[in-house]
Amino acid sequence: MLTHKNLVMTDALYDYLRRVSLRESAVAEQLRTATAALPNARMQVPPEQGQFLALLVRLMGARRCLEIGTFTGYSALAVASALPPDGVLVACDVSEEWTAIARQFWAAAGVADRIALRLGPARETLAALIAAGEAGSYDFAFIDADKPNYDAYYEAVLTLLRPGGLIVFDNMFLGGRVLDPDDTSESVRAIRALNEKLHHDERVFIAMLPLADGVTLALKQA
* Contact between residue 65 and residue 87 where contact means Cβ atoms under 8 Å apart: yes
Report DSSP letters for 91-109, one per residue: EEES-HHHHHHHHHHHHHH
Positive or negative, the CA dihedral 68, 71, 73, 74 is: negative
Number of chain positions touching Ca ion (CB under 5 A): 3
Give the binding range for Ca ion (CB under 5 A) out of 14-22, 34-42, 124-132, 144-152: 144-152
Q: How far is the CB of 121 from Ca ion (least distance, A)?
A: 18
Q: How far is the CB of 215 from Ca ion (least distance, A)?
A: 9
Q: Print the binding letters for residues 79-98 with Ca ion: x by CB under 5 A, - otherwise.
A: --------------------
CA distance 174 to 145: 12
Q: Which is nearer to Ca ion, 110 or 210 (CB)?
A: 210
Walk across the sheet containing 88-93 and list its strands: 115-119, 88-93, 64-68, 138-143, 161-169, 215-220, 204-209
Q: Which is nearer to Ca ion, 139 or 170 (CB)?
A: 170
Strands 215-220, 138-143: pairing kind? unpaired
Q: How far is the CB of 143 from Ca ion (least distance, A)?
A: 9
* Shortest-Cβ-distance residue relative to Ca ion: 170
Q: How far is the CB of 191 from Ca ion (least distance, A)?
A: 11
Give the binding range for Ca ion (CB under 5 A) out of 1-9, 79-87, 143-151, 181-189: 143-151
Residues 167-206 that bind Ca ion (CB under 5 A): 170-171
What phi and psi, each to the nearest 5 degrees, are found at residue 92? -105, 130
Of 67, 93, 139, 144, the one binding Ca ion by CB under 5 A:
144
Strands 88-93, 115-119: pairing kind? parallel
Give the binding range for Ca ion (CB under 5 A) out of 32-40, 95-103, 140-148, 175-183: 140-148
- Distances from the Cα of 129 to the Cαs of 7, 134, 138, 144, in angstroms? 42, 6, 11, 19
Q: Which is nearer to Ca ion, 108 or 148 (CB)?
A: 148
CA distance 192 to 51: 27
Q: Which is nearer to Ca ion, 51 or 171 (CB)?
A: 171
Query: Contact between 67 and Ca ion (CB under 5 A)?
Result: no
Q: Which is nearer to Ca ion, 139 or 144 (CB)?
A: 144
Q: How far is the CB of 42 from Ca ion (least distance, A)?
A: 8
Q: Which is nearer to Ca ion, 42 or 203 (CB)?
A: 42
The angle subtended at Cα 171 by Cα 107 and Cα 56, nearest 5°, is 55
Strands 204-209, 161-169: pairing kind? unpaired
Task: Quote the strand ranges of 120-160, DSSP E.
Answer: 138-143
Q: Which residues bind Ca ion (CB under 5 A)?
A: 144, 170-171
